[in-house]
Amino acid sequence: MTGASGRRLRAFFGCLYYAAVRPGEALGLRRSDCTLPATGWGRIELAETRPSAGKAWTDNGEAHERRGLKQRAAGEVRIVPIPPPLVRLLREHIEVFGMAKDGRLFQSEYGNVVASSSYSRTWKQAREIALLPGQVSSVLAARPYDLRHAGVSQWLNSGVPAPEVAARAGHSVDVLLKIYAKCIDGQGAEMNDRIMQGLGEGPA
């Protein structure tokens, strides 16, 4: 990504893909929520989300609400292991851009919560740079939220069991299976081979 806003949001978009978090969850992420080792896997502990609501609809006049996680009890935390590429992105982001006064990782140039219009505009510009003209006009990765869908699909296609994917993504298993059924439907032969190996028979 090019430009100051693009560099500032690289790790934000990385969270949407590598950790399959919702945009509001990424906006609420604080340094204290992150375990970022020098090598290997890290983890993030998601405790709140910052959905955009408009100043007229919040108690404090800010454009973003502070809420607990979707489909979670008040105060409940969702732990998501994060792979080395995202660990590196977050470490680099903190080194270059620091943190907001309240410890949030992602902030505007003025220290505010990043507006959805701002990260959506940056994503649109990134698509125009990265994709072919015909792809730009398609629905391919049309919204930042599509990065989350791509991340969840990648986990399922890699053979991660659905209950584990659901736990990491903050879905119920039922909802996960309804939304991502196509990812799972194509794994029948692979699952059969795994069962045969478990029976000591080897692949068919």
**CATH number for the domain including 41?**
1.10.443.10
Residue 8 lies in a domain: yes
Tell me how crowded residue 16 is: count the other CB atoms within 10 A of its CB: 23
Residue 106 lies in a domain: yes
- pLDDT by residue (tens digit) across 132-165? 999 999 998 999 999 999 999 999 988 899 999 9
pTM of the shown model = 0.82
Residue 94 lies in a domain: yes
Residue 133 lies in a domain: yes
Residue 158 lies in a domain: no
Residue 121 lies in a domain: yes
Residue 99 lies in a domain: yes
Domain of residue 62: give its range.
3-139
Compute the mean pLDDT over every residue in the chain, rounded to the nearest whole number.
85
- pLDDT by residue (tens digit) across 166-179? 999 999 999 998 88
- pLDDT by residue (tens digit) across 58-108? 344 455 565 555 555 566 899 999 999 999 999 999 999 999 999 999 999
CA gap 176, 172 in Å, rounded: 6
How many independent structural domains does the chain possess? 1
Tell me how crowded residue 36 is: count the other CB atoms within 10 A of its CB: 16
Residue 147 lies in a domain: no
56 pLDDT above the threshold of 50: no
